[in-house]
Structure 1
Amino acid sequence: MSAPELFDYDLIRARQNRARLDGQSDDVLLPRVSEEMAERLAGVLRDFDNALDLGTPEPGLSGPLSALPRVNNIRRADRDLLNRDYVLPFAEGSLDLVASALALHWVEDLPGLLLQIRRALKPDGLFTAAVPGGDTLIELREAFSEAEADTAGGVSPRVIPFAGVRDLGSLLQRAGFALPVVDSEKITVRYGDIFGLFRDLRALGATNPLLARSKTPLRRETLARLAEIYQERFSDPDGRLRVTVEIVWMSGWVPHESQQKPLRPGSARHRLADALGTVEIPSGVKPS
């Protein structure tokens, strides 16, 4: 069974191209994420002679990664290619590193893409990515739902779904990556009003691209109710509004014989009870 279609990719491409031409984005998130990705890779004691930046918005990861002495020959796959039918144009086992920042949330068939990434990587090759997590724009999602219910008698999807930490970890394992690691951090961005958030989303080409979105213009009373709810629930004492962005970091290695393996069950040489200085109680026996 094929995955359900979620996104209008023609609309995504048009909005992102318009945002690129307007050049009005003041994106502080991408530089922060790119810098942290470079810091994380700097601690990996391995040479990556063929690296790919997969879909990262401009200016991409080439700058931060090229500053790392162990990362070389960085190529880039543009993010507007990450659509439903995207196929990585790389031979099997041709890459040492695939890195992506703030791009993979647009991919409908992420399990399929992860399988392609694993295939394109050499044994002991590394995949690492930063993606918006499940709590991203959670305040906007809640405020929009209630505002529409109050003023329009129904709710339409306004914010795209973002994957959670456990889901992304499971996808790495299903794709066959070894030593998967997934962690997250939450960043709070503040705005003077809801319209500042809307302007930034438009400037990033990140407004609602869902196929199931309402095709009618947003009603004035809905917008006014949205602003009211957001101000009531998600503002700081100084009146500025909070916006949550969750960044999920995920990484996995293509299996290789040199990698650390888990011990076989029953192979331990020391008892946990001895280490803790306590008495071991057999299963099914109640302590006295």
Structure 2
Amino acid sequence: MANQRVPRIFNPARRRAIRQRAARLSAADPAASYILADMVEDTQERLAFMRLAPTRSLVIGDRHGEMAAHLSAEGSEVVSVDPADFDEEAPLPWGAFDFIASLATLDTVNDLPGALIHLRNGLAPGGVLIASLLGAGSAPALRSAMLAADADRPAARMHPMVDRRGGADLLQRSGFARQVVDSRSLDVRYGSMDALVNDMRAQGMTNALVSSPPPLGRAARETARQHFISQADDAGRVTETFEILTLTGWKS
């Protein structure tokens, strides 16, 4: 029987360039990293709630080093890797870590089940993975604006994303002994679509798809801006929602 090939949805080179750009932009304006900051804070709270004090941790995507610093202060030996240089679809040393944190990176890997299997294999028995990623309910205001701009010929401008049920299925398929999947919404208010897009660039959330859509022309771009602001409240601000999906898995 022929080997099943993993579909190529995301372009690894484009993904790497997007993350390198995000590192530069967020260094100039750390406030633009609000999604990553939320994920870091939430992961720290989960560790405290579980009373988990890992001795050796792997942290993926900790752009500003806050998660690694927290774990180090708690006595953990930390390996921190930059997702621009780290291949999540490659095997990890077997059983090397008792805790792995993945922050805002798994939503753009081609082989997500395979990546989760590698993360599970990298855990020691009893080890825990906490993976935070953008979920399927993210950026509805921007999605609506893009559809309006493309009119009757919509292009693939936004990434496909995982929902809670899909996340639970992925953890089960990946062989985790126990799984918990939950999501929460982070609402951010914007006065323009351009401000939102700039923040998304600074957070590495722009298009990394293999099939690059045609750029919006001037008229279509203006249509998108007008449609976006038409969703504004009385104060002239549009509330954009980011769904943060958290996958927690335990290795037996």
Shift of 1:180: 0.6
- Structure 2 distance, partners of 1:60, 1:101, is 11
2:47 is the alignment partner of 1:41? yes
Query: Which residue pairs with 1:55 in the alignment?
Result: 61
Query: Which residue pairs with 2:159 in the alignment?
Result: 160
Is this contact kept in 2: 1:55–1:104, CA < 8 A? Answer: no
| SS of the residue 1:66 aligns to | helix
Distance 1:172 1:52, change over 3 A: same
| SS of the residue 2:136 aligns to | coil
Query: Which residue pairs with 1:147 in the alignment?
Result: 149
Residue type of the alignment partner of 1:34: V
Query: Which residue pairs with 1:259 in the alignment?
Result: none
Distance 1:88 1:60, change over 3 A: farther
Larger Rg: 1
Greater relative contact order (Cα < 8 A, sep 6+): 2
- Structure 2 distance, partners of 1:167, 1:31, is 24
- Structure 1 distance, partners of 2:157, 2:63, is 22
Query: Which residue pairs with 1:202 in the alignment?
Result: 201
TM (norm. structure 1) is: 0.79
Question: Could you tell me which of 230, 244, 260 is aligned with 2:228?
Answer: 230
- Structure 1 distance, partners of 2:105, 2:22, is 15
Shift of 1:246: 0.4
Alignment of 1:58-207 (within 5 A): 58-59=64-65, 61-67=67-73, 69=74, 72-83=76-87, 86-90=89-93, 92-149=94-151, 153-207=152-206
Moved over 4 A (4+): none
Residue type of the alignment partner of 1:30: L
Count of residues in correspondence between the two structures: 246
Query: Which residue pairs with 2:237 in the alignment?
Result: 240
2:216 is the alignment partner of 1:254? no
Unaligned runs of 5+ in 2: none
Distance 1:59 1:142, change over 3 A: same
| CA distances 1:218-272 after superposition (whole Å, capped 9, x unpaired) | 211111111122222x3122111111100111101111xxxxxxxxxxxxxxxxx
| SS of the residue 2:128 aligns to | strand
